[in-house]
């Protein structure tokens, strides 16, 4: 067995591997992060790693709200892990040291709350995925019937959910007269800061109306746009990276060269100088957020459902099919771009060109199945907001509606060859039940799924331009199969 990556073996790594440029023992905790998955480790943890040499007060204590997998992998490594940046040109390796401690929330609830309530903690960042906010995706309000919310309202001192942890920690700080931390969401939600503030305020109100007012008036929740493609790490990645390091890294993360972070500058308790690592601070994130959610994530979800149904394993495989490139270029140019309102100077044309190249990156094995996950939580901000804007202007939704139809076909849980699809979604069971009732009829399936208000709201199911276009596309998918539908696709 080779040695493990950790503080002791760090000095022996080959020269080509970049290492933390600061003394990790001098780092203090300034940030608690909730949701220590691959995305955080390839994004915020790297920006923070870049600034720690100049300002060691912003070390990260990172928590998993559910499983102990990341803790089990990184604890023996003193929190160290490798970031692999891959493209056609090759691979660059870097060991990141900004995470000093990992906490598994379910078995160390008090340790996590202590860290969050500690006056030295001035920012709580989050990447808990869309479903981690326990909200209703169509309206962006707290889902008060969510089992974790029901639990946390009954036992607010021993929370399970991200909102539950944040509110209990804020309650403790307030009781101790410690100013609140800034809550920085880094998930792909629409108006993510405003959404998290709405969810937190409502949760706090239900615990105690006073606390609700405190959260509404005193807690800053800046919005952010985060962007970096980070596929799940595979065994081949582990092996390749271990060989290059000469020591074992149980959980490296693999990503692309591109990275972007746009943040609203509202941090009453201070913040790291992330701009020195390339982050952009702006007064209004919304235009960037729309650009990213609609162009990148909207295309990603469309590629994921259509690509998976066509038998393509990864996004790069899907993009090797020219019919898909045509469809996605058309979606971005004709249907999404007219809905965007960018500040002067933003270069949308080169952003879109870069996106096509990023999707094509053959060094990233980004599975269509991975992106297809949690569609019920993703569709509203990725496709349906664009659909609403288009319909308001009487404009075509030919390609957008094909993406929605592909999601419908996907959540039936049976692929075109009759094999099961492993649909991962908090609503998977309900969607599957509706699909079973629909019994393979496009019309039935579409109308049953339109009735899921948490996704489609009250307006879209009533608009025949939307229901008609989606149903017609779904019928094509059933009749012709997905690959042929895409290759024969003609807008309007
Ligand atoms: C992807 C995103 O998994 C998904 O749903 O669309 O994680 C995407 O890779 C990132 O948002 C890129 O910034």
- Fold entry, domain 286-487: 1.10.1040
- Mean pLDDT of all residues in 315-344: 97
Pick the residue whose CA is nearest to atom 1 on ligand 1: 371
* H, E, C per residue of the chain: CCCECCCCCHHHCCCCCECCCCCHHHCCEEEEEECCCHHHHHCHHHHHHHHCCCCHHHEEEEEECCCCHHHHHHHHHCCCEEEEEEECCEEEEEEECCEEEEEEHHHCHHHHHHHHHCCCCCEEEECCCHHHHCEECCCCEECCCCHHHHHHHHCCCCCCCHHHHHHHHHHHHHHCCCCCCEEEECCCCCCHHHHHHHHHHHHHHHHCHHHHHHHHHHCCCCCEEEECCCCCCCHHHHHHHHHHHCCECCCCEEECCCCEEEEECCCCCCCCCHHHHCCEEECCCHHHHHHHHHHHHHHHHHHHHHHHHCCCCEHHHHHCCHHHHHHHHHHHHHHHHHHCCCCCCCCHHHHHHHHHHHHHCCCCCCEHHHHHCCHHHHHHHHHHHHHHHHHHCCCCCHHHHHHHHHHHHHCCCECCCCCECCCCCCCHHHHHHHHHHHCCCHHHHHHHHHCCHHHHCCCHHHCHHHHHHHHHHHHHHHHHCHHHHHHCCCCC
- Which pLDDT does position 82 carry in this prediction? 98
- Mean pLDDT of all residues in 360-376: 97
Share of the chain above pLDDT 70, in %: 100
- Which pLDDT does position 491 carry in this prediction? 87
Cα 301 to middle of ligand 1, angstroms: 9
- The model carries a pTM of 0.97
- Which pLDDT does position 344 carry in this prediction? 87
Per CATH, the number for 10-282 is 3.40.50.720
- Mean pLDDT of all residues in 454-459: 97
Q: What is the mean pLDDT of the chain?
A: 97
Instruction: Answer yes or no: is the C-beta of 83 below 6 A from any ligand 1 atom.
Output: no
| Interval 144-159: pLDDT, tens | 999 999 999 999 999 9
Which of 188, 292, 366 is the pocket-test mutation for ligand 1 (most atoms within 8 Å of CB)? 188
Instruction: Answer yes or no: is the C-beta of 300 below 6 A from any ligand 1 atom.
Output: yes
| Interval 245-278: pLDDT, tens | 999 999 999 999 999 999 999 999 999 999 999 9
Instruction: Answer yes or no: is the C-beta of 371 below 6 A from any ligand 1 atom.
Output: yes
- Mean pLDDT of all residues in 321-326: 98
Cα 52 to middle of ligand 1, angstroms: 27
Instruction: Answer yes or no: is the C-beta of 228 below 6 A from any ligand 1 atom.
Output: yes
Q: Residue 1 — pLDDT band, cuts 50, 70, 90?
A: low
Is the pLDDT at 51 greater than 70, yes or no? yes
Cα 10 to middle of ligand 1, angstroms: 31
Domain boundaries defined on the chain:
10-282, 286-487
Pick the residue whose CA is nearest to atom 9 on ligand 1: 229
Cα 319 to middle of ligand 1, angstroms: 16
Cα 375 to middle of ligand 1, angstroms: 12
- Mean pLDDT of all residues in 62-66: 97
- Which pLDDT does position 2 carry in this prediction? 76
Is the pLDDT at 313 greater than 70, yes or no? yes
| Interval 65-108: pLDDT, tens | 999 999 999 999 999 999 999 999 999 999 999 999 999 999 99
């Amino acid at each position: 067995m080779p040695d493990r990556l950790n503080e002791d073996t760090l000095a022996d790594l080959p020269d080509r591997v970049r290492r933390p440029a600061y003394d990790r023992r001098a780092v203090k905790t300034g940030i608690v992060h909730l949701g220590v998955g691959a995305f955080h480790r390839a994004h915020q943890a790297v920006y923070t790693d870049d600034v720690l040499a100049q300002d060691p007060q912003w070390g990260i204590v990172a928590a998993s709200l559910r499983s102990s997998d990341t803790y089990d992998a990184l604890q023996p490594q003193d929190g160290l892990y490798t970031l692999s940046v891959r493209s056609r040109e090759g691979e660059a390796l870097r060991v990141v040291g900004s995470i000093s401690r990992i906490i598994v929330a379910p078995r160390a609830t008090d340790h996590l709350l202590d860290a969050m309530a500690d006056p030295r903690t001035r920012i709580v960042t989050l990447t808990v995925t869309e479903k981690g906010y326990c909200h209703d995706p169509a309206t962006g309000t707290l889902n008060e019937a969510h089992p974790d919310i029901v639990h946390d309202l009954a036992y607010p001192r021993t929370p399970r959910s991200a909102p539950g942890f944040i509110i209990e920690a804020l309650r403790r700080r307030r009781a101790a007269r410690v100013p609140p931390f800034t809550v920085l969401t880094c998930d792909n939600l629409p108006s993510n800061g405003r959404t998290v503030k709405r969810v937190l305020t409502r949760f706090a109100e239900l615990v105690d109306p006073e606390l609700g007012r405190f959260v509404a008036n005193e807690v800053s929740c800046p919005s952010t746009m985060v962007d970096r493609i980070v596929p799940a790490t595979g065994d081949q990645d582990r092996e390749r990276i271990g060989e290059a390091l000469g020591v074992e890294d149980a959980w490296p993360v693999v990503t692309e060269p591109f990275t972007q972070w746009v943040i609203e500058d509202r941090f009453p308790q201070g913040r790291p100088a992330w701009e020195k690592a390339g982050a952009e601070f702006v007064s209004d994130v919304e235009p960037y957020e729309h650009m990213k959610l609609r162009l990148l994530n909207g295309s990603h979800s469309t590629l994921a459902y259509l690509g998976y149904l066509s038998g393509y394993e990864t996004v790069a495989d899907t993009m090797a099919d020219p019919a898909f490139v045509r469809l996605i270029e058309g979606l971005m140019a004709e249907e999404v771009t007219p809905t965007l309102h960018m500040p002067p100077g933003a270069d949308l044309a080169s952003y879109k060109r870069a996106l096509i190249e990023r999707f094509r990156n053959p060094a990233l094995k980004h599975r269509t199945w991975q992106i297809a996950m949690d569609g019920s939580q993703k569709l509203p901000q990725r496709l349906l907001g664009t659909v609403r804007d288009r319909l308001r202007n009487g404009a075509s939704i030919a390609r957008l509606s094909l993406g929605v139809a592909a999601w419908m076909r996907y959540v039936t849980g049976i692929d075109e060859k009759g094999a099961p699809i492993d649909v991962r979604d908090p609503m998977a069971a309900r969607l599957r039940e509706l699909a079973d009732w629909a019994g393979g009829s496009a019309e039935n399936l579409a109308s049953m799924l339109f009735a899921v208000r948490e996704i489609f709201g009250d307006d879209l199911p009533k608009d025949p331009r939307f229901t008609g276009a989606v149903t017609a596309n779904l019928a094509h998918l059933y009749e012709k199969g997905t690959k042929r539908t895409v290759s024969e696709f003609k807008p309007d």
